[in-house]
Structures are given as structure tokens and as C-alpha cells.
Amino acid sequence: MIKFIFKAILRDKNRSLLPITVVATGVLLTIALSGYLSGMLGDIIDQNARFQTGHVKVMTRAYADNVDQMPNDLALLGIDEVHEELNNDFPNYTWVNRINFGGIIDAPGENDQSKGQGPASGMAVELFSDSSGEVDRLNLKESLEEGKIPEKSGEILIGYEFADKLNVKVGDELTFMGSTMYGSMTFSKFIISGTVRFGVAAMDKGTIIIDFTDAQQMLDMADGTGEILGFYKDEVFMQDEVQEMREEFNAKHASSSDEFAPIMKTLGEQSSMGTYLDLVDSVSGMFVVIFVLVMSIVLWNTGLIGGLRRYQEFGIRLALGESKGHIYRAMIYEALLIGTIGSVIGSALGIGVTLLMQRYGIDISGMMKDATMMMPTVLKSKFTPQLLYIGFIPGVLAMVIGTMLSGIGIYKRETATLFKELEV
């Protein structure tokens, strides 16, 4: 019977083409939206982890209480011992030093005149260490607009919009003016080795990056760091695991009353990311459920319309002696096949669109010119295993349920009145 119905679907395009097209379109939209939401929300988490929070972060208790102020006077000292402890206790994580600092950047010009000045937000990372993975983690090579990654002390990377504002280019000299860990003034000269497009509007407009050792010297932070960030070696954030790490590490240092004792915080405990993580889970799930329900109603109606349009056909089959139960089952089998065919086609197209969006994304940089929030300017989709089956929920179930409801009318037909109906 299934084989017979399948041949009927292929041969009678007037009966099957529209339902299959509607099912495929609905499934395509369901999968494309689900992948896009997963990618967009996940990218924002990943962006914050790489540039700000890490998967976990170790700092002093006093620093943690004032972290938004970048208080390097409360920095973590004796970092070799801390790194040894972290590597022994949590070998699956890569631990890197970061120093965040602020100051004024001056671009010297001719005749002791300044070409431009501006406030800068600085980030010191381990550029010269291959084991740190910071260059790849921050995607610096691919983000270079001009020049190269610093290869020696005294070189600096600068946001491309910041460079335009200061009227400087690769090879020009910059002077940093700020304060050290102990509150004294510091002046340091750097050579621009490259300009970078971070993909975050707030950073492109005022961020500089130098090597960690240069920052230690400039800020009088020998054997010190502002923060130690931990990243799982597969670069995947696992919330349950980092919670256990935090509890274990903090319990180890809980007996100390020193405000400079180290403390560990997870990504979810920083920059209001905990609220965002909860929001991601609820919002993405809510959007998917709503969209699946909407598409289910659309496809349900498709099944109803398909059954009603064939009302006369069913009357003829009943008049010829076919049983009501047989017709009803045939309708359901047919809806199941149409839903499956449409879902397979829609899933293939939806996954294709998702993979394409995962690679290229949508550039929203034009909408982010005045943004100060840390979020990517290219929004990408993300392929997840659930995309392989989520489209079949509206594609098959809704089609079958719609057909079942429309088919109830078959049992209400009276055989005695069939010929009168057919004469009309």
C-alpha cells in the first residue's frame, strides 16, 4: 500500500507538489532560524570569553571587587606559584596572563606638535609565547588590516578606527601616558606594528594591544598580573565543570583573610554574563518552540485544505464500495509520506543555509558604529545535532494531525446521499 501511495504522490503533482513545497519551506525556515539563534547568541558568549572573562578568571579578592575599574594597584603577585598550582590542579585548561590598563595615547608630529591624542583602553597579552595561544584566541592574524603581529619589545597593535582618529599608520611612533601599579606616572614609547579590526566597534575605536612583558615593565608589575584567564583546551565553555573548579579552588584559599589572596570566578559570574547565559537558554528555546508551533499551524492547515479539496474524490471512493477506515488510513499514510519527503528536502536546504551562514555570516558593522557593547559585528549561524531532527516536528507531525482532523469528515458521510452529492 505504501508503495502504491508513493507512486500516486509522484504521478499526481497537482495533489502533492503544493503540500511538499509548503512542508519543505516551513522546515527550511525552522532549521535556519534555530541555527541562526544558536550561532548569534553563542558568538556573543564566545566573544566575551576570549576578550574579557575567560572560561574562568583568577585575580585577587580586592581586584575582583573593583574589576570594572582595572585596579592594577590590587594586582596578583607571585604569579609563578599561582600558575604552578593551576596547572597541577586543572591540567585540562590553558592559563594565560592578562593586564588591562588605561591611559592617554599621543601621536607625536613635526615641530613638537601632536598629530592626535585620545584615551586608550589597553590589553597586555602573551604575544611572544607560542604556548599561550593568545594570537589565535584573539584572532589577531586574520583581523590585521595592515602590518604584522608584534615580534619584539616596544611594538604595539592599535584598532584601525583609532589609528585613523590619531592620523597614524604602521611604523609611526606612539607615546603612552598613564600610571603604574604604585600610582606614579609612566611614559612609554611604542612603534605601531599593525592595525587591527577587532570586529567589536567599542574596541576598534580605542583599544591597543601590547605584549605582557612590556606591560609588566611599563606598569612596574614585575612578577605580577591583573588577571589569569583559564580556557578549556578545546575552547568550549562547560558551565557545570567550571562551577566545580571554582568551588575547589576557592575552598583551598578560603582560610586566608588576606584581601590579596587569589579567587576564581567563572564566566557566568562576570560582566552580568550569568543573567545572559540564563537568557540564552530560555530565549533560544522559546523562539524555537514558538516558531515550531507557528509552522505546525501552517502545515496543519495545509493538511486540512488538502483533505477538503479531495472531498468529492473520497465520496466517489465510498460510492464504489471502499471502506471508510481504508480511505482514512490511506490519507494518513499519504500525509506521512508527504511530510517525510518535505521534511527531508527542507532539512537538507536548512542545514545548507546554516552551514553557509556559519562560514560567512551577516555583517552588521554598519548598525554598530556607535555601539559600546561587546558583541560581534558579523552574526553567524551554528550547526548543532538538533537541527537534524527538529524540522520533522512541524514537517511530519503537523501534516499528519491536520490530515487526521480533515479526514474525520469521511466518517460523517452517509452512503445513501453520496449519489445525490455526485449529481450536483
Residue 331, amino acid: M
Residue 129 has a CB neighbour count (10 Å cut-off) of: 15
User: According to the model, what pLDDT value does residue 60 have?
Assistant: 94
Would you say residue 413 has pLDDT above 80?
A: no
What pLDDT digit, counting tens, does each position of 245-277 carry? 999 999 999 888 889 999 999 887 876 665 666
Length of the chain, in residues: 424
- Residue 286: which pLDDT band, with cuts at 50, 70 and 90? confident
Grade residue 138 by pLDDT with cuts at 50, 70 and 90: confident
Please answer whether residues 127 and 134 qualify as being in contact, where contact means their C-beta atoms are separated by less than 8 angstroms. yes
Name the least confident of 74-78, 106-110, 348-352: 106-110
pLDDT tops 60 at residue 148: yes
User: Span 113-130, mean pLDDT?
Assistant: 90
Distance (Å, rounded) from C-alpha 247 to C-alpha 254? 10
Check: CB of residue 364 under 8 Å from CB of residue 195.
Answer: no
Q: How confident is the model at residue 234 (pLDDT cuts 50, 70, 90)?
A: confident
**15, 35, 113, 10: which is closest to 347 by C-alpha?**
35
Q: pLDDT band for 374, please (50, 70, 90 cuts).
A: very low
More confident residue, 57 or 415: 57
Contacts of residue 278, defined as CB under 8 A and 6 or more positions apart, other chains included, come to: none
Q: What is the pLDDT of residue 175?
A: 93
Band the pLDDT of 311: cuts 50, 70, 90: low
- Give me the pLDDT at residue 14, please: 61
H or E element that contains 17: helix 13-48
Per residue in 52-95, pLDDT tens? 888 899 999 999 998 888 899 999 999 999 999 999 999 999 99
What average pLDDT does the segment 346-354 reach?
A: 91
Q: Which residue type, as a one-letter code, is found at position 366?
A: G
Global pTM exceeds 0.95 = no
Q: Residue 41: name the closest of 365, 362, 280 by CA.
A: 280
158-217 per-position pLDDT tens digit: 999 999 999 999 999 999 999 999 989 999 999 999 999 877 777 888 899 999 999 999
pLDDT tens string 383-405: 878 888 888 887 787 777 777 77
Range in 145-154, 166-175, 354-363 with the lowest mean pLDDT: 354-363
Give dist(CA 72, CA 226) in Å, integer. Answer: 6
Contacts 24+ apart (CB under 8 A), 268-271: 268/239, 268/242, 270/52, 270/53, 270/57, 270/67, 271/48, 271/52, 271/53, 271/374
The proportion of the chain whose per-residue pLDDT surpasses 70, expressed as a percent, equals: 80
Could you report the per-residue pLDDT of 6-30, keeping only the tens digit for each?
A: 665 666 666 677 778 888 888 888 8
Of 157, 145, 38, nearest to 105 by C-alpha is 157
Res. 146: pLDDT tops 70? yes
Q: What is the band of 124 on the pLDDT scale with cuts at 50, 70, 90?
A: very high
Q: pLDDT band at residue 226, thresholds of 50, 70 and 90?
A: very high
Q: Which of 81-95, 113-127, 273-287, 399-413 has the lowest mean pLDDT?
A: 273-287
What does the pLDDT look like over 27-60, one tens digit per residue? 888 888 888 877 777 777 787 788 888 889 999 9
| Comparison of pLDDT for 354 and 407, the residue scoring more | 354
What pLDDT digit, counting tens, does each position of 296-310 carry?
Answer: 677 667 666 666 666
| Percent of all residues in the chain with a pLDDT value above 90, rounded to a whole number | 34
